[in-house]
């Protein structure tokens, strides 16, 4: 934890300050508003993602800019789609092509705004994409993880398209999409798969793995399979778990609402926690990955949103059982970290 505060957070905040300055110079008022809003409300995404750089401080000068730039693209595009002046699937897909280009060094850039009215960002998105390409190209074993990163980025883009199109089409398109993958993930329900595709943690872990020049293809695949779907799925389902009340009020899609009952939700969430812990324990440096898993549980379940939702509190008590790590992180997050933010 001390490594994060001493070496990681200052680097993250320096990167974000640079991107904030660039966002403030965006000519189009709507694009500027969404770029700044995404940083104002989602800075903790970059701070949390950059924890992976703590495992390789010697490579943090590559990992921190890469993770911050890719997460900033993700958060910016999420704002553009979620608060969009468009409901076009092709618009959303073209926007998210920027993420695929970002993790593909040498890929040519294009006009990612070509299908929407707001077009002039002064080069902001292109600059983020180029930063990712440059940093990824510097990772010693990136060639061994690139296709796996692209797979996860592609799934992430698919989710963003289907969950942001017109409401009457969302569930139908999500279920149709799931049909392509259900045989590969028989342990999952469609909403759990969809949730897992919404996490960037698997991408960040593959960046970390690519820091090792001795990485082998089988090691890269083990990382991918350990993080996706278990750890990635837990990450996003926890996010949806605590957002149930506000999503109900706003009429927004929430993948926790697709469980048939509260008992079923509790059962499936507990299964996801157990699966994520097992996946973490099977990786090299398992204590680091268990810290990630237990930290996720504590981070979300200590959120003030939980207090006002009785059913979520009951789920939280169930998920907190059996792990001293989770209880420790929960206490730290509740009594120290959040107050310091």
> Do 3 and 130 have their domain in common?
yes
Whether residue 77 contacts residue 34, with contact meaning beta carbons closer than 8 Å, is answered with no
The count of other CB atoms within 10 Å of the CB of residue 311 is 13
Please indicate, yes or no, if residue 36 is contained in any of the structural domains.
yes
> Do 2 and 60 have their domain in common?
yes
pLDDT band at 74 (very low <50, low <70, confident <90, very high): very high
pTM for the structure as a whole: 0.93
C-alpha dihedral (133, 137, 139, 143), degrees to nearest 10: 110
Please indicate, yes or no, if residue 325 is contained in any of the structural domains.
yes
End-to-end CA distance of the chain: 15
Q: Which domain holds residue 198?
A: 161-341
Looking at 82, 103, 138, the residue that finishes a domain is 138
Token pair of 55, please?
């495992």
> Do 86 and 204 have their domain in common?
no
pLDDT in tens, 277-292: 999 999 999 999 998 9
> Do 205 and 99 have their domain in common?
no
> Do 194 and 327 have their domain in common?
yes
Please indicate, yes or no, if residue 134 is contained in any of the structural domains.
yes
Rounded Cα gap, residues 209 and 139, in angstroms: 9
Please indicate, yes or no, if residue 143 is contained in any of the structural domains.
no
DSSP 8-state code for residue 139 = S
Please indicate, yes or no, if residue 128 is contained in any of the structural domains.
yes
> Do 4 and 134 have their domain in common?
yes
pLDDT of residue 5: 62
Would you say residue 339 has pLDDT above 50?
Answer: no
Rounded Cα gap, residues 215 and 209, in angstroms: 7
Would you say residue 103 has pLDDT above 90?
Answer: yes
Is the N-terminal amide bond of 152 cis, ω within 30° of 0? no
Please indicate, yes or no, if residue 145 is contained in any of the structural domains.
no
> Do 191 and 70 have their domain in common?
no
Please provide residue 185's backbone torsions phi and psi, each rounded to the nearest 5 degrees.
Answer: -130, 65
What is the dihedral sign for C-alpha 293, 97, 114, 121? positive
> Do 169 and 134 have their domain in common?
no
Helices assigned H by DSSP within the chain: 2-3, 9-24, 29-49, 60-82, 89-102, 124-138, 142-164, 167-178, 190-197, 201-209, 217-226, 232-242, 244-250, 262-281, 286-301, 310-320, 324-332, 338-340
> Do 165 and 243 have their domain in common?
yes
Q: How far is residue 125 from each of residues 47, 194, 214, 270, 301, measured CA to CA in Å?
A: 20, 26, 33, 39, 33
pLDDT in tens, 120-148: 999 999 999 999 999 999 999 999 999 99
Q: How many domains are there within the chain?
A: 2
Question: By C-alpha distance, which of 172, 195, 189, 202 is closest to 243?
Answer: 195
Please provide residue 302's backbone torsions phi and psi, each rounded to the nearest 5 degrees.
Answer: -95, 0
Token pair of 180, please?
């392509």
> Do 110 and 173 have their domain in common?
no
| In the chain, % of residues over pLDDT 70 | 92
pLDDT band at 222 (very low <50, low <70, confident <90, very high): very high
Please indicate, yes or no, if residue 226 is contained in any of the structural domains.
yes
Which region among 182-196, 218-232, 310-324 has the lowest average model confidence (pLDDT)?
310-324
pLDDT band at 250 (very low <50, low <70, confident <90, very high): confident
Please indicate, yes or no, if residue 152 is contained in any of the structural domains.
no
Whether residue 233 contacts residue 199, with contact meaning beta carbons closer than 8 Å, is answered with yes
> Do 181 and 301 have their domain in common?
yes
Rounded Cα gap, residues 27 and 114, in angstroms: 16
pLDDT in tens, 35-68: 999 999 999 999 999 999 999 999 999 999 999 9
Cα maximum dimension of the chain = 52
Rounded Cα gap, residues 69 and 193, in angstroms: 25
Cα–chain center distance at 245: 21
Looking at 86, 103, 138, the residue that finishes a domain is 138
Polymer length of the chain: 341
Token pair of 228, please?
């996706």
> Do 300 and 192 have their domain in common?
yes
């Amino acid at each position: 934890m001390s490594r994060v505060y001493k070496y990681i957070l200052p680097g993250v905040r320096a990167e974000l300050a640079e991107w904030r300055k660039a966002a403030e110079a965006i000519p189009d008022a709507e694009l500027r508003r969404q770029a700044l809003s995404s940083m104002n409300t989602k800075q903790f995404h970059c701070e949390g993602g950059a924890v992976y750089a703590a495992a390789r401080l010697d490579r943090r000068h590559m990992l921190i800019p890469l993770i911050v730039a890719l997460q900033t693209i993700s958060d910016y595009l999420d704002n553009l789609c979620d608060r969009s002046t468009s409901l076009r699937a092709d618009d959303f897909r073209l926007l998210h092509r920027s993420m695929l280009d970002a993790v593909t060094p040498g890929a040519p850039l294009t006009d990612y705004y070509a299908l929407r009215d707001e077009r002039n960002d002064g080069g902001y998105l292109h600059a983020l994409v180029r930063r990712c390409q440059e940093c990824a190209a510097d990772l010693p074993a990136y060639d061994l993880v690139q296709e796996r990163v692209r797979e996860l980025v592609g799934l992430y883009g698919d989710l963003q398209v289907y969950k942001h199109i017109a409401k009457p089409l969302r569930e139908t398109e999500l279920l149709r999409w799931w049909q392509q993958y259900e045989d590969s993930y028989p342990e999952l329900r469609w909403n759990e798969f969809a949730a897992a595709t919404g996490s960037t943690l698997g991408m960040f872990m593959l960046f970390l793995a690519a820091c090792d020049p001795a990485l082998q293809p089988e090691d890269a695949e083990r990382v991918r399979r350990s993080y996706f779907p278990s750890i990635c799925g837990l990450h996003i389902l926890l996010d949806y778990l605590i957002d149930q009340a506000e999503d109900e009020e706003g009429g927004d899609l929430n993948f926790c609402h697709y469980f048939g009952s509260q008992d079923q939700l509790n059962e499936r969430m507990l299964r996801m926690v157990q699966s994520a812990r097992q996946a973490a324990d099977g990786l090299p440096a398992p204590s680091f990955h268990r810290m990630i898993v237990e930290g996720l549980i504590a981070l979300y379940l200590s959120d003030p949103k939980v207090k006002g939702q009785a059913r979520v509190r009951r789920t939280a008590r169930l998920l907190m059982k059996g792990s001293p790590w989770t209880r420790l992180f929960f206490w730290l997050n509740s009594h120290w970290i959040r107050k310091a933010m």
